[in-house]
Amino acid sequence: MRIVITGGAGFIGSNLAEVLALAPNNEVCVVDDLSTGKVENLPIASGIEFIKGSITDLQLMNEVLADADFVFHQAALPGVQRSIEDPAHANEVNIRGTLNVLMAARDAGVKKVIYASSSSVYGDTPELPNREGMTPNPLSPYAVTKLVGEYYCKVFNDVYGLNTISLRYFNVYGPRQDPHSEYAAVIPRFVSRVLRGEPPIIYGDGQQTRDFTFVKDVVNANILAMNSDATGVYNIASGRMISIQELATLITRLTGLQSISLWIWC
């Protein structure tokens, strides 16, 4: 079985590639332009094929997906702030790139495309927890691009008969998440500061809550989605809420550095 992972050298994609490559009879191919991913993220001697390239290249997508059975579409220009700074680039990569993947998958007769969406499509909903039936309210170019990707997946499923499923990730954390990125998520940023003996910086009163999801659970969800007949949109989350202040306190305790104070910027 041949599996293609776009963005497979990134945080989530590389964890997914590692697990899929361990299964017998799986041929795993990773396509990544290395704009945020790293070849070093891919396990050594895993047999994973690596192709450096962008999902914005339709010809490349046609070539790579020609004999694919399943496609995990993880590639994207990540980050809300980055999309605000350069919405045109976010549109090109996240919307045009997704369309390229879907067209190539359709033409190749791929069995299923598993699309990485985001909880950001919900926006600031007054009612929690977020449920799939809620009306999306994207508040950034990034969230818009992810929602458009979902709509394209639905259209290709309904119109062209290409099986697709969209997974809305909630605040993923875990191994290979880059704490040094300008757009690093809160957990690696907090951990990195605490290990340097610096206090975690909290903006606001710290009572805002998030649902954090371990990357291995996200990997398992992707594999379940591949093996399932299900299509449509699904939340991928832990189902547990924690405030940012509680998170920072927990990290200082688990690292044995409770003496470090929290900086709260209101």
Q: What is the pLDDT along the chain (266 residues), one digit of tens a residue?
A: 999 999 999 999 999 999 999 999 999 999 999 999 999 999 875 789 999 999 999 999 999 999 999 999 999 999 899 999 999 999 999 999 999 999 999 999 999 999 999 999 999 888 889 999 999 999 999 999 999 999 999 999 999 999 999 999 999 999 998 876 655 588 888 888 888 888 888 877 888 888 899 999 999 999 999 999 999 999 999 999 888 889 888 888 888 766 555 555 54
Distance in angstroms (rounded) separating the CA atoms of residues 46 and 238: 29
Quickly name the fold that domain 2-173+213-239 has: Rossmann fold (3.40.50)
The predicted structure's pLDDT at residue 217 = 98
Question: Which positions are annotated as active-site residues?
Answer: 142
Distance in angstroms (rounded) separating the CA atoms of residues 157 and 180: 38
The predicted structure's pLDDT at residue 64 = 99
Distance in angstroms (rounded) separating the CA atoms of residues 214 and 44: 23
The predicted structure's pLDDT at residue 266 = 41
- Is the overall model pTM greater than 0.85, yes or no? yes
CA 121 to chain centre: 13
The predicted structure's pLDDT at residue 207 = 84
Contact 90, 77 (CB under 8 A): yes
Residue ranges of domains in the chain: 2-173+213-239
Contact 204, 99 (CB under 8 A): no
What DSSP assignment string belongs to 189-227? HHHHHHHTT-PPEEESSS--EE--EEHHHHHHHHHHHHH
Helix 215-227 to helix 11-22 angle (10° resolution) is 60
Alpha-carbon distances of 86 from 65, 109, 118, 142, 242, rounded to whole Å = 29, 34, 19, 10, 31
Neighbours of 143 (CB within 10 A): 21
